[in-house]
């Protein structure tokens, strides 16, 4: 069977008219003789509505009931899509995770798909049916509903493509592909025709909102090609694929950025083995993600200044945890909420010398001061004042010829 998995995001199923449009897209693949498996998110805004309800009910809503609650949104959208397909003369029905079943492991709200029982779906496809599967959810060993984290419907689609050996996995969303940077910040941003898993993973983790990093990692590990397309425009999207499938002269694929960073500096930390671990241990235990880290040793090597970045929403909690941490001694705590991270990403920098110089020189020419630097094989990130964010993104986009 020639199977295609089509995943539709919340904006794509946000109204009755948009769901009718989804049915048209599905029909176009059926006309091409594909067997179609649809994966749907909840209607736009529905998951947030359910989360807010849980907060009104309890300040300590149990994790198992939370997953049962927020998984309900997908049931509605799947039923509506299947209903429309039936109305158009196609055989279709909705499938919830427990009906297939899709088996998961891990904690509630952050579970991962371990296996998918294929027999019922395969039999339905052979009958000419279009299964519409609820994304974002599975069931665990206790037969309780679990969810895969925000953006988890992408992960559902990718794993369904893996288990059913689909020829294609197409993610339909409200943008028509992956861009070199946010077009709202740089109007000259260009759509990227092909991008490697590694580059997309870096861009997603650095602020690009097209897909969640976990979903990209699943696709990379399972070698599932993903096409990102718009539900609202009939034009080619962006292909996320293996590095060897990409041939381009561009050293840098894109410029990513974040707006919600905070910088924390501990001044005069007593320097001894294990002090960094003692600083970050309570943050780890409270699920606070630490990003960029810089440590400066004093000339007489008894004290150090340690700087790191976190997300703004974790700032108050982090400040409290540091102040009550009796395992560390420091002179002063400095907090800066007016910073942003700007990153260049591209596999081309692996074999191209001078990329770091070009980045730093371009920023220097615009009088943009770099506060913190972090690097990986295919990424360089810098922390700058938030007021300089747009200027920094714009100058780097031009420097690496992404405007053309």
* Domain extent at residue 282: 255-399
* 168 domain-assigned: yes
CATH number at residue 365: 3.30.2130.10
* 129 domain-assigned: yes
Tell me: do 259 and 141 sit in the same domain: no
In this prediction, residue 98 carries a pLDDT of 95
For residues 136 and 147, the answer to whether their CB atoms sit within 8 Å is yes
Tell me: do 288 and 394 sit in the same domain: yes
* 290 domain-assigned: yes
Which DSSP string do the residues of 126-175 spell out, in sequence order?
HTT-EEEEEPSEEE-TTS-EEE--TTHHHHHHHHHHHHTT-SEEEEEESS
Rounded to 5 degrees, φ, ψ at 213 are -55, -40
For residue 157, which of 244, 90, 216, 69 has the smallest C-alpha distance? 216
Residue 171's DSSP bridge partners are 7, 228
Tokens of 184: 């709202």
Output the tens digit of pLDDT for each of the chain's 404 residues. 899 999 999 999 999 999 999 999 999 999 999 999 999 999 999 999 999 999 999 988 999 999 999 999 999 999 999 999 999 999 999 999 999 999 999 999 989 999 999 999 999 999 999 999 999 999 999 999 999 987 789 999 999 999 999 998 999 988 888 899 988 888 888 998 999 999 898 888 776 677 778 888 888 888 889 999 999 988 888 999 888 777 667 789 999 998 889 999 999 888 788 888 999 999 998 889 898 998 877 655 678 889 999 999 899 999 999 999 888 888 899 999 999 999 999 988 888 889 999 999 999 999 999 999 988 888 999 999 999 999 999 999 999 998 87
Tell me: do 158 and 58 sit in the same domain: yes
* 54 domain-assigned: yes
Question: Is it true that the peptide bond before 174 is cis, omega within 30 degrees of 0?
Answer: no
Any idea of the CA torsion for 238, 241, 244, 246, to the nearest 10 degrees? 0
- Pair type for strands 3-8 and 168-173: parallel
Tell me: do 38 and 150 sit in the same domain: yes
Tell me: do 15 and 155 sit in the same domain: yes
For residues 67 and 147, the answer to whether their CB atoms sit within 8 Å is yes
In this prediction, residue 298 carries a pLDDT of 62
- DSSP 8-class letter at 191: B
* 136 domain-assigned: yes
Residue carrying structure tokens 């052979």:
126
In this prediction, residue 301 carries a pLDDT of 65
Longest dimension (CA), the chain: 79
- Report the first-to-last Cα separation within the chain, whole angstroms: 41
At which of 120, 145, 174 does a domain end?
Answer: 174
In this prediction, residue 326 carries a pLDDT of 87
In this prediction, residue 30 carries a pLDDT of 96
Q: Is 159 left (phi over 0), alpha (psi -120 to 50) or beta?
A: alpha
Tell me: do 295 and 147 sit in the same domain: no
Rounded Cα distance, 12 and 14, in Å: 6
At which of 144, 174, 204 does a domain end?
Answer: 174
CATH number at residue 58: 3.40.1160.10
Other residues' Cβ atoms within 10 Å of the Cβ of residue 145: 24
* 263 domain-assigned: yes
C-alpha angle 155-374-186 in degrees, rounded to nearest 5? 70
* 203 domain-assigned: no
Tell me: do 158 and 293 sit in the same domain: no
pTM to 2 decimal places: 0.83
At which of 114, 142, 174 does a domain end?
Answer: 174
- Cα dihedral sign for 351, 356, 362, 363? positive
* 164 domain-assigned: yes
Rounded Cα distance, 57 and 132, in Å: 31
Number of domains in the chain: 2
């Amino acid at each position: 069977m020639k199977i295609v998995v089509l995943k539709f995001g919340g904006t794509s199923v946000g109204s009755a008219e948009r769901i009718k449009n989804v049915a048209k897209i599905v029909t176009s693949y059926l006309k091409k003789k594909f067997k179609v498996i649809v994966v749907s998110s909840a209607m736009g805004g529905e998951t947030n509505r359910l989360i807010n309800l849980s907060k009104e009910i309890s300040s300590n809503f149990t994790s198992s009931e939370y997953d049962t609650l927020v998984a309900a949104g997908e049931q509605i959208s799947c039923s509506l899509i299947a209903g429309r397909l039936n109305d158009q003369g196609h055989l279709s029905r909705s499938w919830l995770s427990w009906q297939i079943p899709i088996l998961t492991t891990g904690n509630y709200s952050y579970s991962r798909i371990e296996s998918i029982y294929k027999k019922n779906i395969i039999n339905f496809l052979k009958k000419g049916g279009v299964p519409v599967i609820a994304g974002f959810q599975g069931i665990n060993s206790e037969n309780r509903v679990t969810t895969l984290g925000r953006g988890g419907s992408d992960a559902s689609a990718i794993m369904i493509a893996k288990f059913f050996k689909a020829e294609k996995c197409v993610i339909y969303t409200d943008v028509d592909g992956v861009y070199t940077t946010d077009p709202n910040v740089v109007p000259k941003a260009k759509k990227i025709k092909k991008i490697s898993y590694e580059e997309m993973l870096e861009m997603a983790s650095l602020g690009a909102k097209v897909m969640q990093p976990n979903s990209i990692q699943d696709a990379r590990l399972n070698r599932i090609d993903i096409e990102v397309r718009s539900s609202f425009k009939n034009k080619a999207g962006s292909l996320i694929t293996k590095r060897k499938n990409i041939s381009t002269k561009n050293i840098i694929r894109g410029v990513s950025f974040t707006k919600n960073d905070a910088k924390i500096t501990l001044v005069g930390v007593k320097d001894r083995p294990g002090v960094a671990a003692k600083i970050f241990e309570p943050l780890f235990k409270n699920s606070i993600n630490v990003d960029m880290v810089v440590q400066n040793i004093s000339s007489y090597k008894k004290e150090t200044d340690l700087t790191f970045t976190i997300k703004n929403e974790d700032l108050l909690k982090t400040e409290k945890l540091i102040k009550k941490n009796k395992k560390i001694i420091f002179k002063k705590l400095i907090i800066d909420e007016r910073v942003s991270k700007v990153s260049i990403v591209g596999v081309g920098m692996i074999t191209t010398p001078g990329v770091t110089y070009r980045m730093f020189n371009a920023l220097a020419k615009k009088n943009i001061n770099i506060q913190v630097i972090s690097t990986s094989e295919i990424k360089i990130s810098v922390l700058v004042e938030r007021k300089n964010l747009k200027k920094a993104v714009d100058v780097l986009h031009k420097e690496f010829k992404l405007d053309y």
